[in-house]
Structures are given as C-alpha cells and as structure tokens.
Amino acid sequence: MDSEQIFEVLERVRQWDAAVRIDLARQILETVVPPQIPRPPQTMTLEEIRAIVRTDTPPPTDEECKKIIEEERLKKYG
C-alpha cells in the first residue's frame, strides 16, 4: 500500500463517527499484535503456605510487639 492509498483511506475514515474509528483502530492493532493471554497464577495449597510461615518460636507478646514497633520508629525517625 503506498502513501496515496493510505491518504485516501484516512480521508474516508475521518468522516466516520469517533467511536467507529476507535473500534477500527483497535481491530487493526489486534491484527498486528495478537492478544496475550495472561498465565494463571501459580497456586499453593494451604499446607504449603502454612509450612512457609511456620516457626519454632512462639509469637511475640503484646509488650514485645510494642517494643519492636518503638525500636523501628526510632530507626526510621531518630
């Protein structure tokens, strides 16, 4: 297709409603780049997730949590 043919097509298309032109542009782009289907996320079983987060130590107490938070605030804000 030469530039004269492209010009003729553009002149004809300019007369169309905007929504129709946008739809045509989308359809043209889809012929160039095929739609990519996203890969499904890899899933883990509940047991696998529990195994990842499992620790041998008990969770911190409320007082220990407050101390950790205060220490982190001091690190961040001085």
The domain spans of the chain are 3-32
- Average pLDDT of the segment spanning 10-28: 94
Q: Of 56, 74, 58, which is closest to residue 66 (Cα–Cα)?
A: 74
Please report the pLDDT score of residue 18 as a whole number: 95
Q: What's the CA gap between 64 and 77, in Å, rounded?
A: 20
User: pLDDT digit string (tens) for 42-56?
Assistant: 888 888 888 888 888
- Local confidence band at 71 (pLDDT 50, 70, 90 cut-offs): very high
